[in-house]
Amino acid sequence: GAVVSQHPSRVICKSGTSVKIECRSLDFQATTMFWYRQFPKKSLMLMATSNEGSKATYEQGVEKDKFLINHASLTLSTLTVTSAHPEDSSFYICSANVPDTQYFGPGTRLTVL
């Protein structure tokens, strides 16, 4: 299957700082990528759909000014958590769309102190 990578795999930051997470499709191009977050013992929650060359589409209840998404190329989407607070600590996972399915990255564990 197609390979999706994320960087970093883990990040610890201080409250009030911003953190950028990268999602790359390694062996294919993806016009659409998705960002999810997952709290402990919970299911994945879709945050937003990232479209190459256009603005991201955010799910209801997700603050677009707090979770900035940029999809500058067909192989890279970034999620920036701005002014992070402890409640933003979570597992962030991206996925990339191929014609008939989606492949997921390994996830990024964010801890905000």
| Residue 42 Cβ vs other proteins, minimum distance, rounded to whole Å | 9
Give the C-alpha separation, 8 to 3, whole Å: 16
| Residue 16 Cβ vs other proteins, minimum distance, rounded to whole Å | 27
How many alpha carbons lie under 13 Å from residue 21 in its C-beta half-sphere?
32
Query: Please, what's the b/e burial string for 21-59 (b: 16 or more CB within 10 A of its CB; e: otherwise)?
Result: bebbbeebebebbbbbbeeeeeeeeebbbbbbeeebebe
Please list every residue from 3 through 62 that binds other proteins, using CB under 8 A: 4, 6, 32, 34, 36, 43-46, 49
Please list every residue from 78 through 107 that binds other proteins, using CB under 8 A: 91, 93, 95, 97, 99-107
| 61 dihedral zone (left: phi>0; alpha: psi -120 to 50; beta) | left
Nearer CB in complex with other proteins: 32/82:
32
Nearer CB in complex with other proteins: 14/53:
53
Report the interface residues with other proteins, using CB under 8 A: 1, 4, 6, 32, 34, 36, 43-46, 49, 91, 93, 95, 97, 99-107, 109
